[in-house]
């Protein structure tokens, strides 16, 4: 079965809802015989140093954790029969990097969860999925939770 979409991107942050979105993207890519790019974006923390002490970078562990989740997502897509799986691990503001990547790579469809790991940051800075939906020139499929209160 060949679908309308040939080049899918899953915006993946390792959160439970991102894993649901990954499952959806895998199913679509396999059914449509489409390429799938697993895209993860690490947002480095803002570091401020006071006084003569050098700044401490607390984000190294978070970056490593995301990188490990990203690598597992690539393996999962390959193991579930997606014909072509690619990966891209970027740093920067997630919405900006997702939008830039999708535009540059001419993706047909972005699949992402409706919320990710950082609910506190989302309240302060706005939702990544909202930003992608409102600013993307590409179709966006937002996966909502399948369990829990409606």
Residue 62's Cβ-count burial label (10 Å; 0-12, 13-18, 19+) is: middle
pLDDT beyond 50 at 123? no
Question: How confident is the model at residue 20, as a pLDDT?
Answer: 95
Question: How confident is the model at residue 124, as a pLDDT?
Answer: 43
Say if residues 10 and 38 touch (Cβ distance below 8 Å).
yes
What's the rounded mean pLDDT across residues 30-50? 87
pLDDT beyond 90 at 49? no
The arrangement of strands across the sheet holding 109-113 comes to: 84-91, 35-42, 7-11, 109-113, 139-143
pLDDT beyond 50 at 139? yes
Third-level CATH fold of 7-46+54-143:
Rossmann fold (3.40.50)
What's the rounded mean pLDDT across residues 105-133? 75
Q: CA 121 to CA 106: how far, in whole Å?
A: 29
């Amino acid at each position: 079965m060949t679908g309308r979409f040939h080049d899918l991107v899953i915006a993946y942050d390792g959160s439970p809802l991102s894993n649901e979105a990954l499952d959806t993207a895998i199913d679509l890519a396999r059914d449509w015989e489409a390429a799938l790019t697993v895209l993860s974006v690490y947002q480095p923390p803002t570091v401020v140093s006071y006084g003569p002490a050098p700044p401490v970078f607390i984000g190294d562990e978070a970056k490593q954790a995301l990188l490990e989740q990203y690598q597992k997502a690539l393996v999962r897509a390959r193991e579930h029969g997606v014909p072509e799986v690619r990966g891209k691990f970027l740093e920067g503001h997630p919405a900006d990097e997702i939008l830039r990547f999708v535009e540059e790579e001419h993706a047909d469809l972005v699949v992402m969860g409706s919320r990710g790991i950082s609910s506190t940051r989302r309240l302060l800075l706005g939702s990544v999925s909202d930003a992608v939906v409102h600013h993307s020139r590409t179709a966006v499929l937002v996966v909502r939770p399948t369990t829990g209160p409606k």
